[in-house]
A and B are shown apart, each in its own frame.
Chain A
Amino acid sequence: SQQGEEDPQALSIQEGENATMNCSYKTSINNLQWYRQNSGRGLVHLILIRSNEREKHSGRLRVTLDTSKKSSSLLITASRAADTASYFCATQLMEYGNKLVFGAGTILRVKS
């Protein structure tokens, strides 16, 4: 079964607005990562947050992790048309050591 599940499946916003995507997972993790996939392209790593961290920032990206709720959120502030892409969370499961498990992604569309 899929480990990470993103919510919502699709999100459409206006340029300049903030976009929030959520990821829930089922079992204990070592870390959680977010990746972006532009249409027809490969995935690009955005940010990693470890299980002992609660929040991390990178530019306009803010990631939070709540291990008690087994969930993470990705916030993109002041969105741009170029942020239009699919966003995936990927978890490193504690019992599976060296494997990343990806969710199905959130499709973000930023309208200019």
Chain B
Amino acid sequence: DTAVSQTPKYLVTQMGNDKSIKCEQNLGHDTMYWYKQDSKKFLKIMFSYNNKELIINETVPNRFSPKSPDKAHLNLHINSLELGDSAVYFCASSQNPDPTYEQYFGPGTRLTVT
């Protein structure tokens, strides 16, 4: 069984559109994350939720809105997509917010904005 899954795996869309990426973990973890990996492979945290509560909110445009309906799910909605949003988005989870706990990553969603 896949521990952390994301859908879709690929997403191609036009500028100005609104899109969502879904993430689910079946590890029973309390904490979930969204990361963005740019074309130079830098991986940067965007958001983190612990027990459905937002605990990390990096400086990202407010066009990005995460939502955690329950502990096992963390979705990312992006409004008014821009070319610069093209990247690979990774969801991850960990047992708790302490960074010494191993983070488990999903396979990534490659977003291409044209």
Task: List chain A positions with a Cβ less than 8 A from chain B.
Answer: 2, 30-31, 33, 40-45, 48, 50, 86, 88, 92, 98-105
Which candidate, B11-19, B37-45, B61-69, B75-83, is the interface stretch facing chain A?
Answer: B37-45
Are B99 and A42 in touch, CB under 8 angstroms? no
Task: List chain B positions with a Cβ less than 8 A from chain A.
Answer: 4, 35, 40-45, 48, 55-56, 90, 92, 97-100, 102-108
Are A31 and B99 in touch, CB under 8 angstroms? yes
In the complex, how many angstroms separate the beta carbon of B18 from the nearest chain A beta carbon? 25
Identify which of B42, B102, B107 contacts A42 (C-beta below 8 A).
B107
Are B99 and A92 in touch, CB under 8 angstroms? yes
* Alpha-carbon separation in the docked complex, A50 to B108 (Å): 28
Instruction: Please give 4 more A-B residue pairs, beta carbons under 8 A apart, in addition to A50-B100, A98-B48.
Output: A41-B108, A42-B107, A86-B41, A92-B100
Most chain B CB inside 10 Å of its own CB: which residue of A44, A50, A102: A102
* Alpha-carbon separation in the docked complex, A88 to B40 (Å): 13
* Alpha-carbon separation in the docked complex, A23 to B53 (Å): 33
Are A45 and B102 in touch, CB under 8 angstroms? yes
In the complex, how many angstroms separate the beta carbon of A40 from the nearest chain B beta carbon? 8
* Alpha-carbon separation in the docked complex, A86 to B45 (Å): 18
A98-B55, A102-B42, A104-B41 are known contacts. Are A43 and B99 too (CB-CB below 8 A)? no
Task: Note all chain B residues with C-beta closer than 8 A to A45.
Answer: 102-104
Are A100 and B42 in touch, CB under 8 angstroms? no
In the complex, how many angstroms separate the beta carbon of B62 from the nearest chain A beta carbon? 20
In the complex, how many angstroms separate the beta carbon of A81 from the nearest chain B beta carbon? 21
Task: Note all chain A residues with C-beta closer than 8 A to B42.
Answer: 2, 102-104
Most chain B CB inside 10 Å of its own CB: which residue of A33, A42, A50, A104: A42
Are A42 and B100 in touch, CB under 8 angstroms? no
